[in-house]
Chains A and B, each alone.
Chain A
Amino acid sequence: MSFLQPSDLDAILLSFQVACTATLLATPLGVGVAYLLVHTRIPGKAVIEGLVNLPLVLPPVVIGYLLLVLFGRRGWIGAWLIRLDIQIIFTLTGAIIASAVVGFPLLVRSIRLGMESVDSSYRQAARTLGAGGWDAFFTITLPLSGRAVFAGMTLMFARSLGEFGATIILAGNIPGVTQTIPLAIYEYTSSPGGDRMALSLCLVSILLSFVVLLASGAASKSLERK
């Protein structure tokens, strides 16, 4: 018997697919929200901040259930999407949305800290040199907070690899469609005689997380050297 089942490879691949897509889609939005929180004086900033941070403290199962209510066939968004023939629940898209929502606060938090630590004088200098507000943001503030954006992306990626609670409720546990590594482990542990296979997937999970950590360390070092 080999170390991994063919369905395990599917799970690993799916995990990657979900984590990558969720992170890449969330990053521009994360930058935008961090910009709103750091550089603008909009009313209700505390409310926005609270909403963004909420998934960090809520049990993922609660988030999954709320998403299910929202995206279900009769939900606010779900009912509208169904008319466009788009289904979210029990699909890969659902898994991606669940991961994105759960990981988003980590991303915004990191980008925001990075943007706040950029000396505002650089932006002022850019403005007096003829750059408009957006120009100065994209050519000065954003590159100078690049490390923080990258750190946030790594955190979110790692969080998405391990996402379980929200995913199982919104996307279900369908092998080959929405079954990521944590869901596969869960299935093995709840079926008799699956301990050994659960353990080998756990090893894969540990290995993957470690590789992400190493890669992020190496990348942030090379950014620093620049």
Chain B
Amino acid sequence: MQLDVSVRKQQGTFEFNAEFSLTGRRIGLFGPSGSGKSTLMHLIAGLLKPDSGCIRLDGTVLFDAAAGVNLPPEKRRVGVVFQHAHLFPHLSVRRNLLYGWRRTPEADRHIDPEAIIEVLNLAHLLDRGVNLLSGGERQRIALARTVLTCPRLILMDEPLTGLDEELKFQIIPYLNKVFARFDIPLLFISHSLLEMRLMTEQVLVVGEGRVEREMATEELAQSAWVAPRQGYVNLLRLGRPQPHGDLWAYPWGDARLVLTDESDSDENVVELDSREILLFKRHPEATSARNMLPCTVGKIFTVGNRVRVELHCGAQQLIVQIVPESLRELELAEGKEVVAVIKASAFRRLL
């Protein structure tokens, strides 16, 4: 997807100004509430008219003030999944799902309703009304409804805000499955760094009505570390586990990690706080922790009394946070060998 935006919009005392050019498939719009993320989404979807500028998506002009072009929302083929789902309360789940599909020209309908119903596991809900559904079900239906219009781009406006933690992590795999299977570009709006890291590859950082920076999501996660009291959380992608005594051994690249949590999935995402990892100069003789990984030290950054150390463990990377005194005692330097020691219970399974 290629999205070029250069717009201005004045709303009361709030002035929004954006100028960027994007190529990618999984892009995040990241920023605090009130920064203008939703405004930008409304401008791209055609629900708000910019004061000036132009918006182009894959070579189609959606809006151009100079040329007097302003495609109405229904002609843009840009799908939107709203924060509160906005399912139509007077229609059944089935009729909600097909609302957009019926209005999509046949030539553009390349997604089969049956397929999305299966991927999002909606078959048992079809004949229900929408007023008694759970938050997670509502969001899945809203997503399916939007996907069925076969849009060129889907905008998701904080779709996970308002869902509790557990539900959030139940829904993310569904989202990933949909976007992988139907190959639709995504612009994901959120103020949660963790959601960004799980859903996107690239982010636009929005603040005070402007697009401030564009960077890889991982880079954003690492830069957030500079702020005081913000720790870095490692997200590790693990394979299918094998029983290991009372515990579970998960493949992680060439290495193997022992965790207390069970899983029956081929792909697992766990988080590991960078402060939960201990470093040893040599392999310890015996320890209660179950994971001892020989690693090579990469780059070292110091901010105040915190030191961030990159560790390379085969092809994988881990980030560890220590204090300057430990750095001196261990005589850490780039290229040195160390052993990272992690307790089996330090990992938290997300997906």
Contacts and interface: CB of A to CB of B under 8 A. Distances in A.
Interface of A: 119, 121-122, 124-133, 135, 139-140, 143-144, 146, 226
A131 B74 contact: yes
Contacts of A140: 88
A167 B36 CA distance: 58
Contacts of A130: 74, 100, 103-104, 149
A143 B89 CA distance: 10
B8 interface: no
B45 interface: yes
Among A124, A127, A128, A143, max chain B CB count under 10 A is at A128
Nearest to B155: A128
Given A121-B82, A124-B47, A129 B100 contact: yes
B168 interface: no
B128 interface: no
B281 interface: no
B256 to A, nearest CB: 47
B79 A128 contact: yes
B324 interface: no
B78 interface: yes
Contacts of B149: 129-130
A127 B47 contact: yes
6 contacts: A121-B84, A124-B47, A124-B82, A125-B88, A127-B46, A129-B99
Contact of B99 (A119, A126, A144): A126
A127 B100 CA distance: 9
A121 B146 CA distance: 15
Interface of B: 45-47, 72-74, 78-80, 82, 84, 86, 88-90, 99-100, 103-104, 145-146, 149
B179 to A, nearest CB: 18
B90 A128 contact: no
A130 B47 CA distance: 12
B89 A128 contact: no
A126 B88 CA distance: 9
B74 A127 contact: yes
Contacts of B100: 129-130
A122 B100 CA distance: 13
A129 B145 contact: yes
A139 to B, nearest CB: 8
Given A121-B86, A129-B146, A226-B90, 19 more contacts: A121-B84, A124-B82, A126-B88, A126-B99, A127-B47, A127-B72, A127-B74, A128-B45, A128-B46, A128-B79, A128-B80, A129-B79, A129-B99, A129-B100, A130-B103, A132-B74, A133-B72, A140-B88, A146-B90
Contacts, number: 61
Given A144-B89, A144-B90, A226-B90, A128 B84 contact: no
A120 to B, nearest CB: 10
Contacts of A144: 88-90
A121 B74 CA distance: 15
Interface of B, secondary structure class, is: loop
B129 to A, nearest CB: 8
Nearest to B100: A129
A125 B82 contact: yes
Contacts of B82: 121, 124-125
Contacts of B72: 127, 132-133
Given A121-B82, A135-B103, A127 B73 contact: yes
A10 to B, nearest CB: 42
Nearest to B104: A130
Contacts of A119: 86
Q: Which 6 A-B pairs have the closest CB atoms?
A: A129-B100, A130-B103, A127-B73, A125-B86, A128-B80, A130-B74
A171 B267 CA distance: 81
B47 A128 contact: yes
B294 to A, nearest CB: 53
B88 A128 contact: no
Contacts of A127: 46-47, 72-74
A132 B74 CA distance: 6
Contacts of A125: 80, 82, 86, 88
B103 A129 contact: yes
B112 to A, nearest CB: 17
Contacts of A131: 74, 99, 103
**Which of B72, B89, B104 has its CB near the most chain A CB atoms (within 10 A)?**
B89
A80 B21 CA distance: 64
Nearest to B87: A125
A93 B306 CA distance: 88
Given A128-B45, A129-B149, A122 B104 contact: no
Nearest to B78: A128
Nearest to A128: B80
A126 B80 CA distance: 10
Contacts of A126: 88, 99
B141 to A, nearest CB: 12
A121 B38 CA distance: 13
Nearest to A140: B88
B295 to A, nearest CB: 48
A140 B90 CA distance: 8
A128 B103 contact: no
